[in-house]
Structure 1
């Protein structure tokens, strides 16, 4: 009888089989299930009820629920000809979860999952089992504090699956990267040269500032930050600051956008004629030298050119013979062209006329005196041989 009983049990339901049943009873540490088609009831330990940690069985099931599970063990009491199936609802849930996640991974599709816990290395999410988002895969942006993510439902992509090690790695960063790529493509198509838009200063370099326009960065060269001379972008803008910029050019193929902050600001040339006139003599500073002349700043954002012919009364080969950057000079305004934002200046003409004449007189006197000195120091043949020549009968 015992052998027949054991054989009937073995041939009925085996370990590893998937079964269904109705929850009949909930205890502190397990749940009793009537197994459909089985000889015995099933027992699901609380640790095998869910892929997540639970303290009480009634958190996930209630009496009357129809559930599925795997048979992990069969316990038979030969003496009483009774037994029970030890079941795992958790194992079945994990299998379904892996099948679902593998499909999403194969098709490069996204899923939604709720953040259940924030840990030091990233975020724990519920994907039918425990999923993990490492800190490096949370966002395309640097995030220092993850606490704001707790309880949020995130759109994610499956990064890695390893059922043998119960490893499920997910990525929010991959979703954001795709979103940013779409925004970038749309933005590059929508903006054009001449547009004035707002952006946020993303990062600074020694040659300019990169502005985030909402999915794509544009560059404001240091020369386009201000009407005034700027040595370093930090003098004008700060990271995170919202600024208004004008689009100078858009290169679709290379995805380069050239921007200007300067062109959104009032030009000092708009009001130059309220303060300066042709013929005025003003103070200036040498900003830079070129082979053809010197650029002089006479006010903030106002630079003019002193042509090499207007630098000095005497002939010079290059401006750096008499000038150097940073030098203070007086200049005369020869012409102002507000439309082309040009100022023509002269250092030579800024010298008072009497100083020029005095300089000429001093030069003449010095040459005359030099000639006289030379004559005194160099006697003629007559002076040397005069008396001797008288005695000669020529």
Structure 2
């Protein structure tokens, strides 16, 4: 037998020792090399199989060396056989995906809660991988409040429910917001059970609006209206509170059915009208600052939250046409209380009477 015949026979024997493989066939092999992005597998064929990260998993954030070790056995699907290049392209994820779609279909039909890893942020939402099946969760269904940037969730495991399933089109859509809403409603209900009118609660200012502030009370929001921020006049909520600030608030109203809570910073014991009959009795002399001016007089803040009217006719013994001619906001004024109406909470002042009394006293001395 010639050397050529011997070589041919050896090649034939060698080829005969290799298994035959076909496209779409499931084969088992042993891992002989692993890099972060590629796995080389001995599948008993004359060429080794190549399993890329893209075909290992739909989660592209992984490092293959963290998941596969040399010497391990692995089951894969033959995607392409190229004898000319000596390459066999393999896929692991497609085997898992076929089984995954079955499991996800059951979860969809039974409305079961699922969990998966956020693999990437795409236009309009995120992709979550479960059983190697990519599940799209729209941005509008990701959280209770709309989130502009979702990149912080990449690599995190989140829970969701399947709201759309089409295996033929390989389309699966999930919803995380609906689960968060259920949890939120449960938390709100529990919080409301422990809140009653008259309670004093420590809360955190969540957000500000032109008409007040929303305060987080252990999971439920209450409205602190601008009119309840102080016994005095507040024109801007930022004058009193800021976002993130802890505040001790009084529960004024609590509608547990409508989940509405009205709050106040006006505590009864701090009411400036307490003991007003003594502090602001007619004949008392008080000092305050001009809070605002009108055509008919000036309002003097004689105590925080208590404004008294100094009528234009009572500003001076001399004729005053316009209050602004002789007074400015912030000026300090000392006057005599000439009227106290507790029911209507009205106080009248007079500088004129003090001046007349002073003139009389001086004339008597003279």
Q: What TM-score comes out, normalization by structure 1 length?
A: 0.59
Aligned position for 2:97: 94
Aligned position for 1:206: 210
Alpha-carbon distance, 1:257 to partner: 1.0
> 2:262 and 2:229 mapped to 1: Cα distance?
12
> 1:141 and 1:265 mapped to 2: Cα distance?
38
Pick closer, same or farther for the CA change 1:174–1:227 going to 2, 3 Å.
same
Residue 112 of structure 2 corresponds to residue 104 of structure 1: no
> 1:24 and 1:66 mapped to 2: Cα distance?
6
Aligned position for 1:65: 73
Residue 166 of structure 2 corresponds to residue 156 of structure 1: no
> 2:65 and 2:355 mapped to 1: Cα distance?
101
After superposition, the C-alpha distances for 1:227-265 in whole angstroms (9 at most, x for unaligned) are 211112122222332222111011123222111022288
Q: Quick check: 1:44–1:88 contact (8 Å CA) kept in 2?
A: no
> 1:304 and 1:167 mapped to 2: Cα distance?
71
Q: Quick check: 2:250–2:265 contact (8 Å CA) kept in 1?
A: yes
> 1:236 and 1:346 mapped to 2: Cα distance?
29
After superposition, the C-alpha distances for 1:258-295 in whole angstroms (9 at most, x for unaligned) are 11022288444569799766522335547699xxx997
Residue 267 of structure 2 corresponds to residue 257 of structure 1: no
Alpha-carbon distance, 1:24 to partner: 4.2
Q: Quick check: 1:288–1:296 contact (8 Å CA) kept in 2?
A: no
Q: Quick check: 1:245–1:264 contact (8 Å CA) kept in 2?
A: no
Aligned position for 2:51: 46
Aligned position for 2:318: none
Q: Work out which of the residue numbers 188, 202, 220 in structure 1 matches 2:192.
A: 188
Radius of gyration: which is bigger? 1
> 1:240 and 1:143 mapped to 2: Cα distance?
19
Aligned position for 1:361: none
> 2:103 and 2:160 mapped to 1: Cα distance?
14
Alpha-carbon distance, 1:140 to partner: 2.9
Aligned position for 1:114: 117
Q: Quick check: 2:31–2:73 contact (8 Å CA) kept in 1?
A: no
Residue 308 of structure 2 corresponds to residue 300 of structure 1: no
Pick closer, same or farther for the CA change 1:164–1:287 going to 2, 3 Å.
farther
In structure 2, the gaps of 5 or more residues are 1-20, 315-320, 361-366
Q: Quick check: 2:51–2:90 contact (8 Å CA) kept in 1?
A: no
Give the number of equivalent residue pairs: 318
Residue 232 of structure 2 corresponds to residue 224 of structure 1: no
Alpha-carbon distance, 1:171 to partner: 4.2
Q: Which structure carries more helix by proportion?
A: 1
Alpha-carbon distance, 1:221 to partner: 1.6
After superposition, the C-alpha distances for 1:83-103 in whole angstroms (9 at most, x for unaligned) are xx9864322211222233333
> 2:143 and 2:300 mapped to 1: Cα distance?
49
Aligned position for 1:242: 246
Alpha-carbon distance, 1:300 to partner: 2.2
After superposition, the C-alpha distances for 1:62-114 in whole angstroms (9 at most, x for unaligned) are 656364x55767999xxxxxxxx986432221122223333333333332223
Pick closer, same or farther for the CA change 1:57–1:50 going to 2, 3 Å.
farther
Q: What TM-score comes out, normalization by structure 2 length?
A: 0.63
> 2:264 and 2:258 mapped to 1: Cα distance?
19
> 1:294 and 1:257 mapped to 2: Cα distance?
36
Q: Quick check: 1:116–1:125 contact (8 Å CA) kept in 2?
A: yes
> 2:244 and 2:136 mapped to 1: Cα distance?
31
SS of equivalent to 2:267: helix
> 1:255 and 1:58 mapped to 2: Cα distance?
49
> 1:187 and 1:209 mapped to 2: Cα distance?
19
